[in-house]
Structure 1
């Protein structure tokens, strides 16, 4: 157990709660100022980092190094479906239901500045903007180049599986021995993932409470929201106690299975052709404006509210989810990893956004205000319920979406509890009590924050963007270290070899 990291990261969370109890407005203002500073001075760097991570990963995956097998195993432990299912819930759990309904609608109501700004009805551009935020770049930063480095350092070199392992190619073995830089990397990674988990836990507690009120007239109070989180944490704790091979695997399979079934049902009973047109048109607009959208710097306020908020969120999540994806990807090749994380997962996410968001936009066009009114008045959970109300068997669909939201959040809490436990022990199979402990801590902290007020939830959600500043530098070295490691592993696995000629080495590649 790394007690220093445990004490500092845990102490920071306790300090945040105490200060919020004392003066939540002052804490919120302080975080807002740091948020604005981070977005202003590091936003352009994040955009370049996300772009470079995706492009280099795609190049590496489809190069001769794509055949390199990761993790020191001859074959993968999980089937392709189970593996992809566990990958999918890592990001979809954060916004799989509510952002899918809300973001395309927001961009439909108010045009992104890149496409002119103001009110408009440019449907492909609305979906393209959502696809850019939740698509290729978002997934790539969570588990491609850095995962290659992490798996090599842990499984091939035998060092602990901690965020600081990403710095091993730069600093060597000393990064693991009483290193201030190493401890700082681990501490900021835990604080970032805590902020990124507590925010969604709190928000989804409020949102599920709204759904219960909307469907069953259950009072929409803080007490009900706290009870919702108790249920979520209980599921997560039970899952955490059973480990990755049972708890997380089962929850993720149920989660993805239910998502697939619900998506098919909405696709069939909803505006089928409009949904397909939204996906195809949105992807076409995104690919056509790929570089322009990736590096847009024209409106600081809008960028801070949308693109840089998401980029900071996903960067903050990065080191911890890299640990999780490394754990479940042992035995996979680099090509399989890149295709699953950088291509398959984004396309599934974008199509899911098209199904939910496209249905909402369709109803909004036919009856203006039917979805946007609820979204403006009561937020994202109201948008989901408004969409479900207009579908056949709307009551059943609304209940189903509440259930899938509960499972999504429970899976997130379970996964993050596991990765924090791994970080503190350096072992990819941490003790059961430690996994359960962190699941309970996340739940208890989220409940306390709920009692303080919704503003505190927003503040801690925004704080992940602040912690993304140091974490983003942790994710920078893999851009050049991952290709170097891929080459080294290709030599070790006999996929390529070198021989000297006239005093220098030349590379000769096998044809197998």
Structure 2
């Protein structure tokens, strides 16, 4: 297998950071080519992406559903093994406190979905009963539970598990063996240390970088469109291109300053602010809306989700609907998985495997279901009191209309709406700075990325989003669909972690002495002491 000339091992005598300009060049070149093509021939690009999206979801959708489901179950099982006591990352103690650590993980994933999708998706499923619950009456209490349950499928336990559990364990153990924090290290279970020098590894790096960059540019572009719409609705500011670009410029500046200052300052500070602001808005919405209605919806929706956990996760009864919802989100999260594994690995040094698995696969999805129940449940509550008050604007104007319509029906509507817009901005900024860091790390053949490289990627993401929205939401929409296409090879990159994570974690636990070797030694001694039977003696 050919060797990558840009590779320098983590334990090299040369301590200087070195960028892998080949991977960086191919990644930026592919993204630039997509942006240019979308400007020059938007219809051709849209048709091509639509064809690729349909093929990817049709051929690989069920595989992704099984991959995410099995990843969650393996992660859940590992929590209860003694191997989970092993400490990851080669550090004796965690680098970050639990609150800051979980805050960085949660806000990196939620992005714009933390507000706009949380408000809109339950309402979409409330307006049109999902096929899995086809016998349920629209608008009934059971219909409300069904709407929330399906939203929990798309943003729940499976999504979080693929992003930060088994892949992060493999990444951290590979890093302890001298491999870099790059997507190629997920191939360590198959290729060993050759994963770091393989040409295949370089291809994996490029594919994963392009995938997560597309998944980040999309929300940034949509944020410009959504906040511009909200500013017109609230203050009469024209919803025009220059306003959208100004929104993206502010977001890019926030993300750039954050990622320049690094994880220890900007990224963890912005993440903590997000969590406190979100908690404050939850309290306000519950106080001004109906806390009892939301609680009932949360318990009913979560119970329905758990009771139908496997069949809902693997549902294929309506292929068009599944491709548009469950498979789309699963593909999107899968596209993020390798670089999220890098980011989680970087901020989780010194934590036990049990900490990591609970902190990625259990606590964040529970918090996410509460968040979706508060926003989506309040939206349904408002719409039931005044039919069409929220579902009407949602049908006419799409995602940003939902949160504006919900807040407009509450007391103190303008301050609350502004709070949600600020939260959305900081959510997306946190995703942008975290993924800019992970992308930059993926472009390093040795050492950590410098602040300039991190800022360059943040600016490139913002610039690409600003260019794409010049042709309307079709450009960023096509790019978001493209991440599902990129998830096809990524799905095979993540596959080895299913088997490798338990094996590597068991070996690490033995090395650290957190589980006893007595049984293994005893079994080996028994085999060695057993009488050997020669072939002719048996005869």
Task: Tell me if structure 2 keeps the 8 A contact 1:110–1:118.
Answer: no
**Structure 1 counterpart of 2:486, from 467, 474, 479:** 467
Partner of 2:357: 338
The answer to whether structure 1 residue 14 and structure 2 residue 38 are counterparts is: no
The answer to whether structure 1 residue 40 and structure 2 residue 64 are counterparts is: no
Task: Tell me if structure 1 keeps the 8 A contact 2:111–2:219.
Answer: no
Task: Tell me if structure 2 keeps the 8 A contact 1:327–1:428.
Answer: no
The answer to whether structure 1 residue 361 and structure 2 residue 380 are counterparts is: yes
Task: Tell me if structure 2 keeps the 8 A contact 1:235–1:410.
Answer: yes
- The C-alpha deviation readout for 1:51-77, integer Å capped at 9, x for no partner, is 000000010111111211111111101
Partner of 1:509: none
Task: Tell me if structure 1 keeps the 8 A contact 2:271–2:430.
Answer: yes
Task: Tell me if structure 2 keeps the 8 A contact 1:213–1:220.
Answer: yes
Aligned partners of 2:243, 2:112: CA distance in 1, in Å? 21
**Structure 2 counterpart of 1:73, from 91, 95, 109:** 91
**Structure 1 counterpart of 2:273, from 251, 254, 267:** 254
- The C-alpha deviation readout for 1:183-242, integer Å capped at 9, x for no partner, is 111011011001101111111110011111111111101110011000000111111110
**Structure 2 counterpart of 1:59, from 77, 100, 103:** 77
Task: Tell me if structure 2 keeps the 8 A contact 1:364–1:370.
Answer: yes
Question: In the TM superposition, what are the counterparts of 1:428-507 in structure 2 within 5 Å?
Answer: 429-496=448-515, 497=517, 498-499=520-521, 500-503=524-527
The answer to whether structure 1 residue 129 and structure 2 residue 150 are counterparts is: yes
Task: Tell me if structure 1 keeps the 8 A contact 2:221–2:469.
Answer: yes
* 1:501 alignment partner, SS class: helix
- The C-alpha deviation readout for 1:300-354, integer Å capped at 9, x for no partner, is 1001100010000000010111100111111111111111111110010000000
Change beyond 3 A, Cα 1:93–1:400: same
Aligned partners of 1:369, 1:421: CA distance in 2, in Å? 46
Partner of 1:3: 21
Q: Which runs of structure 1 show a deviation greater than 6 angstroms over 4 or more consecutive aligned residues? A: none
Aligned partners of 2:137, 2:76: CA distance in 1, in Å? 36
Partner of 1:222: 241
Task: Tell me if structure 2 keeps the 8 A contact 1:248–1:415.
Answer: yes
Cα distance, 1:119 vs. partner?
6.6
* 1:114 alignment partner, SS class: helix
Aligned partners of 1:260, 1:36: CA distance in 2, in Å? 38
The answer to whether structure 1 residue 323 and structure 2 residue 324 are counterparts is: no
Partner of 2:171: 150
Task: Tell me if structure 1 keeps the 8 A contact 2:112–2:223.
Answer: no
Partner of 2:204: 185
- The C-alpha deviation readout for 1:344-375, integer Å capped at 9, x for no partner, is 10010000000000000001111110000010
Higher Cα Rg, which structure: 2
Aligned partners of 2:278, 2:230: CA distance in 1, in Å? 18
Cα distance, 1:501 vs. partner?
1.5
Change beyond 3 A, Cα 1:379–1:118: farther
Aligned partners of 1:237, 1:4: CA distance in 2, in Å? 24
Task: Tell me if structure 2 keeps the 8 A contact 1:110–1:119.
Answer: no
Q: Which runs of 5+ in 2 are unaligned?
A: 1-18, 530-539
Cα distance, 1:502 vs. partner?
2.3
Cα distance, 1:392 vs. partner?
1.2
Question: In the TM superposition, what are the counterparts of 1:94-243 in structure 2 within 5 Å?
Answer: 94-116=112-134, 120-121=138-139, 122-154=143-175, 156-177=176-197, 179-243=198-262
Aligned partners of 2:98, 2:526: CA distance in 1, in Å? 46
Q: Which runs of 5+ in 1 are unaligned?
A: 506-512
Partner of 1:294: 313
Partner of 1:407: 426
Cα distance, 1:118 vs. partner?
8.4
Deviates more, 1:3-12 or 1:103-112: 3-12
Aligned partners of 1:427, 1:214: CA distance in 2, in Å? 49
Task: Tell me if structure 2 keeps the 8 A contact 1:93–1:408.
Answer: yes
Task: Tell me if structure 2 keeps the 8 A contact 1:103–1:130.
Answer: yes
Cα distance, 1:263 vs. partner?
0.8
Cα distance, 1:9 vs. partner?
1.1
Change beyond 3 A, Cα 1:220–1:117: farther
Aligned partners of 1:269, 1:364: CA distance in 2, in Å? 15
Cα distance, 1:102 vs. partner?
0.3
Task: Tell me if structure 1 keeps the 8 A contact 2:122–2:151.
Answer: yes
- The C-alpha deviation readout for 1:104-132, integer Å capped at 9, x for no partner, is 00000101111117871211111000001
Task: Tell me if structure 2 keeps the 8 A contact 1:110–1:117.
Answer: no
The two structures have a TM-score, normalised by structure 2, of 0.92
Task: Tell me if structure 1 keeps the 8 A contact 2:75–2:357.
Answer: yes
* 2:491 alignment partner, SS class: helix
Partner of 1:508: none
Task: Tell me if structure 2 keeps the 8 A contact 1:54–1:141.
Answer: yes
Number of residue pairs the alignment of both structures matches: 503
Cα RMSD (Å): 1.2
* 2:389 alignment partner, SS class: coil
The two structures have a TM-score, normalised by structure 1, of 0.97
Cα distance, 1:504 vs. partner?
5.5
Task: Tell me if structure 2 keeps the 8 A contact 1:161–1:426.
Answer: no
Question: In the TM superposition, what are the counterparts of 1:252-291 in structure 2 within 5 Å?
Answer: 252-291=271-310
Cα distance, 1:426 vs. partner?
4.7
Aligned partners of 1:131, 1:14: CA distance in 2, in Å? 35
* 1:418 alignment partner, SS class: helix
